[in-house]
Amino acid sequence: MEHSLRIGRVASQFPGLLLSGLLVTGLLGGLCGTPLAPAAEQAADPHAWPQFRGPSGQGHAPLARIPLTFDDAHHVRHKLALPGRGWSSPVIADGLCWLTTAIEKVPTAERRAEILQNKLKTNPQAGQLEILESVTLQAVAIDLQQGRITHTVTLFEIPEPEPIHSLNSYASPTPVLAGNRLLCHFGNLGTACVDTEKAQLVWKNRIPVEHGVGPGSTPVVYGDLLIFPCDGTTTQSVVALSIETGTQAWQTRRPPMTGENGDFHKAFSTPLIIRVGDQDQVVAVGAQWVVAYEPKTGREIWRCRHGEGFSNAPRPVFAQGLVLICGGYMTHELLAIRVAGAEGDVTASHIAWRTAKQVPPMSSPIVVGDEVYTVSDQGVVSCLDLKSGEAHYRERLGGNFSASPLFANGHLLFCSRTGEVSIVPPGPTWHEPVKNQLDSGVLASPAIYRDSLVVRTEKSLYVIAE
């Protein structure tokens, strides 16, 4: 109730801002500086969900009036079986939802044994890896009004793709909408641009990188550039491609890594573009370091060593002058970094606080008001004071979690790998969640379009609305 009143007070004081979900999100989050939306957020559709975690990249849709209780028999406007497999999240504009997917061809038992012997004999993770004969990577468009697939665009056909971890997919990075362009990234399998009006391939490119367990990092748009990390086991960098042509605009190497084991140097995080004062920065978390770059040129602005963590997957969030990052495996820490005046190596000077309890290695944090929330792999929700990092509560939802939380209709949504969606109000006091069940596991983060909740499960695409 208190949170609803806070929304009402903001709306009454700034009525013109009701047209911009991004600006309202900024006010409710108490942002100092602004996370920047990609070009599609400025497009004709003010309701667009153009990138991973929405217009601001931080999982906020506070004005969406989505249902808080639902199942297959209630409030499901459409439920559509999806082809192939993929954990990429939906992106939406002009009533079309775009997804990437992987059509997999499984090898015979004999062929699988041959691949294991020839390619993975010395790999200690071989038992956790998925092996395919071939994979076809596609972009799929769904009409949300009619609940049907309208376009399927084949982007890449890959024979004997590198094996991936069993929790990963070949279509895990989320695409980005920028005007009439859909930018689809599949790590070292390639990057492609689709004309959404013609449903045709515009260009393709491939930046080599050794992921170790498959692709994971989602790109971000800045102006006419597509920016993404290439944090592999052998080399680590951040790359920008021209959206118009797909040619490389810049590539910047990461700071030096300690240790000889390349598996401890990889990462899978998605960058966040923020504005600090009058300067735009793209914040990219990698193994051991988080670095802010100048988006147009790739010039490093500041760096901060977060520890020995690696395989970082959560996206950073930015609120009240603090960038919050998850340190990854090995350390499992959540850090808050002050960005005002940050320049050069700020490890010793700009870390405001850090905590190591129940920090997620995959799900991203979310900030609402003066609190930051996380959900761990094991289903523990933590609510921390944003300024101090002190815990208000840690409570167990149960289950396992990979998807990032969403804030909509005054509530937080947490989606589990078994398809359970838990809904709780924000605030420093814990409330028992409302639990809703979908048909299968959720590893993709949910999206919002107008007053509809759009969720990709392992089997289906749900459009949930009153």
Q: What is the pLDDT of residues 345-382, one digit of tens each?
A: 999 999 999 999 999 999 999 999 999 999 999 999 99
pLDDT of residue 208: 93
pLDDT of residue 36: 63
Q: How many Å apart are CA 50 and CA 93, to the nearest integer?
A: 7
Q: How many Å apart are CA 11 and CA 109, to the nearest integer?
A: 61
Q: CB–CB of 436/414 below 8 Å?
A: no
Task: Tell me, rounded to whole angstroms, the distance of Cα 233 from its chain centroid.
Answer: 21
Among residues 166, 145, 140, the alpha carbon closest in space to that of 155 is found at: 140
Q: How many Å apart are CA 422 and CA 393, to the nearest integer?
A: 17
CA trace torsion 373, 376, 381, 385 (10° rounding) = -40
Domain 89-217 matching CATH 2.40.10.480: the answer reads yes
Parts of the chain belonging to CATH 2.40.128.630: 1-78+357-466
Parts of the chain belonging to CATH 2.40.10.480: 89-217
Among residues 392, 412, 391, the alpha carbon closest in space to that of 401 is found at: 412
Report which secondary-structure segment, H or E, holds 317: strand 317-319
Spans of the chain, pLDDT less than 70? 1-34, 36-43, 119-128
CA distances from 183 to 94, 223, 345 (A): 16, 13, 32
Q: How many Å apart are CA 140 and CA 96, to the nearest integer?
A: 10
SS3 content of the chain, % helix, strand, coil (to 5): 10, 40, 50
CA distances from 22 to 57, 164, 232, 334, 367 (A): 10, 35, 33, 25, 14
Among residues 247, 246, 252, the alpha carbon closest in space to that of 231 is found at: 252
Residues 6+ apart with CB under 8 A from 102: 84, 85, 86, 135, 136, 137, 138, 169, 170, 171
Q: Token pair 């009240």 is at which residue? A: 320
Q: CB–CB of 409/28 below 8 Å?
A: no
Report which secondary-structure segment, H or E, holds 23: helix 21-29
Q: How many Å apart are CA 227 and CA 159, to the nearest integer?
A: 27
Sheet holding 391-396, edge to edge: 366-368, 371-375, 380-385, 391-396
Q: CB–CB of 22/370 below 8 Å?
A: no
What are the residues facing 86 on neighbouring strands?
none
Q: Given its phi and psi angles, is residue 53 left (phi above 0), alpha (psi -120 to 50 degrees) or beta?
A: left
pLDDT of residue 122: 61
Predicted model pTM: 0.90
pLDDT of residue 67: 97
Eight-class DSSP state of 410: T
Q: How many CA atoms lie within 13 A of 246 on its CB side?
A: 17
Helices (H) and strands (E) in the chain, counts: 3, 37
What are the residues facing 453 on neighbouring strands?
448, 464
Enter the CATH code of domain 1-78+357-466: 2.40.128.630
Q: Given its phi and psi angles, is residue 223 left (phi above 0), alpha (psi -120 to 50 degrees) or beta?
A: left
**φ, ψ for residue 105 (rounded to 5)?**
-110, 115
Q: May I ask the CATH architecture of the domain 230-326+341-347?
A: Beta Barrel (2.40)
